[in-house]
Amino acid sequence: MAKGDPGVTSRGRRAAPRSKRAADAGGPELVQLLTPEGERIESALGPDGTEYRVDFTDEEYRGLYRDLVLVRKLDAEATALQRQGELGLWASLLGQEAAQVGAGRALRTQDMAFPTYREHGVLYCRGIDPIMPLGLFRGVDQGGWDPNEFKFNMYTIVIGAQTLHAAGYAMGVAMDGKTGGDDGEAVIAFFGDGATSQGDVNESFVWASVFNAPLVFFCQNNQYAISEPLERQTRVPLYKRAGGFGFPGVRVDGNDVLASYAVTRHAMDNARHGQGPSLIEAYTYRMGAHTTSDDPTRYRIASEVEAWQAKDPIARMKAFLTKQQIVDESFFADVDEQARTESVHLRERVLAMPDPQPVTMFDHVYPNGSPELDEQREQFSKYMASFEGSAH
Ligand SMILES: Cc1ncc(C[n+]2csc(CCOP(=O)(O)OP(=O)(O)O)c2C)c(N)n1
Ligand SMILES: [Mg+2]
C-alpha cells in the first residue's frame, strides 16, 4: 500500500520533547500524526525516543480513507443483519477502524496475524472476503478462510488464548531462522484491554520476551471489557506493562490511522529483524455495544460517547483530505457509493448462504475424527431421523 518503504523512521534517542503536541486523551505519551481536527503532525516521538512518521502518496492517503469507510459500512451491514435475525451475533468494530486499518496495512505479505473476534478491519486488509466472518456468526460454517493462505488465523473467542498461539508460532518462526532480514517474518497478536488481565496474555509476554520472539502485541484499548471499564483492569497505562516483561511498549492514538500504521510498521520491522517483541497499546473507544447481545446504556453515560465522537477516525481523515486538497469533489460520494454497493452485495450473499446439514457439525472437530465422535454423530443422526414425517 505504501510506496517503497513507507517512511517510518527510527532515529534513536533524542532529547527533544516527547511529542510535538500532547493529545487531549490518552496523555502526553500518545503517538499521534493526525489530530481529531485533521491537522497533520510531521512526526511524533515514542517513549524510547523512536521518531514516527509516514510519507504516503496522495493515492495512498485516499486508499486509507476508502478502507476506513468500507470497513465501517460492512460492519454496519453485519449489525443490521443480526438485528434482522440473519446472524446469531455480531461484534462490531465501530470506532476502531483506524487502529485496525493502520495495523492491517502495515503488515507485510509474509507476516502472520492472530485476531480476536472483532478484527474485521484487519481481515479486510489481509484480502479475505468480508463475507467469511459473517458465515461464522450466522452459524453456517467455521469462518472458511485458510489461515496459511491469508496469514490470518481464525477468530478466537476465548479471551487472550490467541496470544499464546502467537507466541508459540513466533518462537517457531525464530527457530526456523526466518528472521533477520527485510524478508523476515513477523507475527502480530491482537487482543483487548480486558484480555490484559488474563493469565494467557501475561504468560505469552514472558515466553515472547525470554525467547526474543518476533511478536508484536497489539492491544486495542477500547476502554471496556463488556461492561467493565479500564480502571478495573489496570492502575498503570497498559503500554507500560511491557517494561516489566523486558520489551518496549508504546501508546498510539488508535483513532489515527497514520499513527497506527507508523507504529505497527516500525514494531513489525524490528521484530522481523530479530529485535524481539514489543507491545502497542492502541488507545481507542468502542463506539457501539460490546456485541449485539449487549446494552451499553446500562453502564456508560452518553456524554462519554459524545466526547469520543469528536475524535472519530473517519471524520479526521476526511478533514485532512479536504484541507490538503488531495481529493476532487466527487471522491467522497464515490467512496460512499462503493461502500453502499459492496454492502448490498454482502447482504445478498449472506441471505443466499445455504444452511448446512446439522450433522456436519461433527466433521471438523478433529482432523481424523474419533470413535467417541462417531458414536455421537450416529446418536444425533438417529435423533434427527426421529423427526422425519412429523409436523415438527
Ligand atoms: C476466557 C474467557 N473468559 C471470558 C469470556 C467472556 N468474554 C467475552 S468478551 C469479554 C471481554 C473482552 O474485553 P476486551 O479484552 O477488552 O476486548 P473487547 O471485547 O473490548 O474488544 C469477555 C470477558 C471469554 N470469551 N473468554
Ligand atoms: Mg476492550
Per-residue pLDDT of 304-333, as tens digits, reads 999 999 999 999 999 999 999 999 989 999
> Does ligand 1 lie within 6 Å of residue 102's CB atom?
no
The dihedral of CA 359, 361, 366, 368: what is its sign?
A: positive
Ligand 2 centroid–CA 133 distance in Å is 20
The widest CA-to-CA distance across the chain, in whole angstroms, is 80
Contacts with 269 (C-beta within 8 Å, 6 or more apart), sequence order: 8, 186
Q: Atom of ligand 1 at shortest distance to CA of 96?
A: 21
Cell of 347: 447482504
Q: Which of 94, 118, 226, 283 to mutate to test the pocket of ligand 1 (most atoms within 8 A of CB)?
A: 226
Report the alpha-carbon distance of residue 12 to residue 51 in Å, rounded.
Answer: 7
Averaged pLDDT score across all residues of the chain:
93
> Does ligand 1 lie within 6 Å of residue 193's CB atom?
yes
Residue 289 predicted with pLDDT over 70: yes
Residue 63 predicted with pLDDT over 50: yes
> Does ligand 1 lie within 6 Å of residue 225's CB atom?
yes
What per-residue confidence (pLDDT) applies to 27?
77
Ligand 2 centroid–CA 228 distance in Å is 9
> Does ligand 1 lie within 6 Å of residue 192's CB atom?
yes
Report the alpha-carbon distance of residue 283 to residue 261 in Å, rounded.
Answer: 14
Residues 298-309: tens digit of each pLDDT: 999 999 999 999
Residue ranges of alpha helices (H) inside 199-256 are 199-210, 241-245
Report the alpha-carbon distance of residue 174 to residue 179 in Å, rounded.
Answer: 6
Residue nearest to atom 5 of ligand 1 (CA): 159
> Does ligand 1 lie within 6 Å of residue 159's CB atom?
yes
CB 16 within 8 A of CB 296: no
Q: Atom of ligand 1 at shortest distance to CA of 161?
A: 1
Contacts with 36 (C-beta within 8 Å, 6 or more apart), sequence order: 255, 310, 311, 312, 315, 316
Q: Atom of ligand 1 at shortest distance to CA of 160?
A: 1
What per-residue confidence (pLDDT) applies to 269?
98
Report the alpha-carbon distance of residue 336 to residue 203 in Å, rounded.
Answer: 43
> Does ligand 1 lie within 6 Å of residue 344's CB atom?
no
Rg of the chain on CA atoms, in Å? 22
> Which own/partner contact pairs does 48-52 have at CB distance under 8 Å and 24+ positions apart?
48/13, 48/248, 48/250, 49/11, 49/12, 49/13, 49/14, 50/10, 50/11, 50/12, 50/250, 50/266, 51/9, 51/10, 51/11, 51/14, 52/8, 52/9, 52/259, 52/262, 52/263, 52/266
Mean predicted confidence (pLDDT) in 242-260: 98
Cell of 197: 488481565
Among candidate residues 299, 340, 366, 383, the one labeled active-site is 299
Ligand 2 centroid–CA 196 distance in Å is 10
> Does ligand 1 lie within 6 Å of residue 158's CB atom?
yes
Element (H, E) at 187: strand 187-192
Among candidate residues 126, 290, 316, 347, the one labeled active-site is 290
* Helix%, strand%, coil% for the chain, nearest 5: 45, 10, 45
Calculate ∠ Cα 74-2-143, nearest 5°. 35
Contacts with 142 (C-beta within 8 Å, 6 or more apart), sequence order: 136, 154, 364
Contacts with 242 (C-beta within 8 Å, 6 or more apart), sequence order: 205, 217, 248, 249, 278, 279
* Burial class of 325 by CB neighbour count within 10 A (0 to 12, 13 to 18, 19+): exposed
What per-residue confidence (pLDDT) applies to 15?
33
Mean predicted confidence (pLDDT) in 245-268: 98
The dihedral of CA 289, 151, 257, 192: what is its sign?
A: positive
Mean predicted confidence (pLDDT) in 367-384: 94
- Work out the angle between the directed axes of helices 58-83 and 97-106 (0-180°, nearest 10): 130
* Burial class of 301 by CB neighbour count within 10 A (0 to 12, 13 to 18, 19+): exposed
Cell of 185: 517474518
Mean predicted confidence (pLDDT) in 227-231: 97
What per-residue confidence (pLDDT) applies to 12?
38
Split at pLDDT 50, 70, 90, the class of 25 is low
Ligand 2 centroid–CA 225 distance in Å is 4
What per-residue confidence (pLDDT) applies to 390?
77
What per-residue confidence (pLDDT) applies to 389?
85
What's 151's DSSP letter?
Answer: T
Split at pLDDT 50, 70, 90, the class of 23 is very low
Residue nearest to atom 20 of ligand 1 (CA): 225
Q: Atom of ligand 1 at shortest distance to CA of 233?
A: 16
Helices and strands per DSSP (H, E), number in the chain: 13, 9
Calculate ∠ Cα 41-43-44, nearest 5°. 100
Q: Catalytic site residue 290?
A: yes
Mean predicted confidence (pLDDT) in 60-67: 98
Percent of the chain having pLDDT more than 70? Answer: 93
Mean predicted confidence (pLDDT) in 339-363: 95
> Does ligand 1 lie within 6 Å of residue 285's CB atom?
no
Cell of 138: 450466522
> Which own/partner contact pairs does 328-337 have at CB distance under 8 Å and 24+ positions apart?
331/62, 335/65, 335/66, 335/69, 335/70, 336/69
Ligand 1 centroid–CA 225 distance in Å is 6
> Does ligand 1 lie within 6 Å of residue 33's CB atom?
no
Among candidate residues 105, 286, 316, 347, the one labeled active-site is 286
